Amino acid sequence: MSKDELIELLKTHKQTTAKKDLNLNEISKLNRDIEKIETDYSTNITPTYQEGSKSNQVSSKVENAVVKKDTRIIEIEERIRQLEEENKELDYVLNQVNIRLGALTYTEKTVLTSRYIDEMEYDVIGNEVFYRIKHQTRSVDAIKKICKKALSKMLRL
C-alpha cells in the first residue's frame, strides 16, 4: 500500500463507516419488507401450471399473486445479498485502517486521525488537540513530523 492510498483510506474512513451503517439499515428494512410481504400473502397455495398449455402462465389470480410475491421476495433477497457483499468489502477497508491505527501510540493516533479523518488543520491540531493530550502546544512543523512518522509506521505493517 502506498502513502497516498493510506491517506485516502483515512480521509474516507467516515464515509466508509457511514456507508456500511446505511447498508445495515437498508438490510434491516428489506428484512422487514419480506416479513410484511409474507404476512400479507399468508396462503398455503403454490402456483400450478396447466399441462398442455403453450405458455408457462399460472391459472388463477390467486396463483398469480403468489408468483408475484415469490418474485418480489427473490428480488429483495438478491438486494440483501448485494448489500452484504458490499459490507464485506467495506469491513475489509475499515479493518485495514483500524489495524494500522492500532499500531500507533495514543498521541500519534490522535494527531493522525485529527488531520486526516477529522480534516483539521495542522495549527489547530498543534494548539488544541495536542494541548488536550499533553498540556503543551506544538508547531505546525512538529505536527507534520508526527503525522509523517505515524504514516511511515502504518505503512511498515
Average pLDDT per consecutive 10 residues, the chain (157 residues; last block may be shorter): 94 97 97 88 57 57 69 94 98 96 97 97 96 96 97 95
In this prediction, residue 116 carries a pLDDT of 97
pLDDT at 51 (0 to 100): 60
> How far is the CA of 107 from the CAs of 73, 90, 95, 113, 144, in angstroms?
50, 26, 20, 10, 13
122 with 65, same domain: the answer is no
First-residue to last-residue Cα distance in the chain: 10
Cα distance between residue 91 and residue 21, in whole Å: 11
- DSSP conformational letter for 50: P
76 and 93, same domain (yes or no): yes
The answer to whether position 1 is within a domain reads: no
Whether 93 and 146 share a structural domain: no
**Domains of the chain: total:** 2
Q: Is the pTM of this model over 0.85?
A: no
For residue 135, which amino acid is it?
Answer: H
pLDDT at 55: 57
**Do 98 and 110 share a domain, yes or no?**
no
Domain that holds residue 23: 13-102
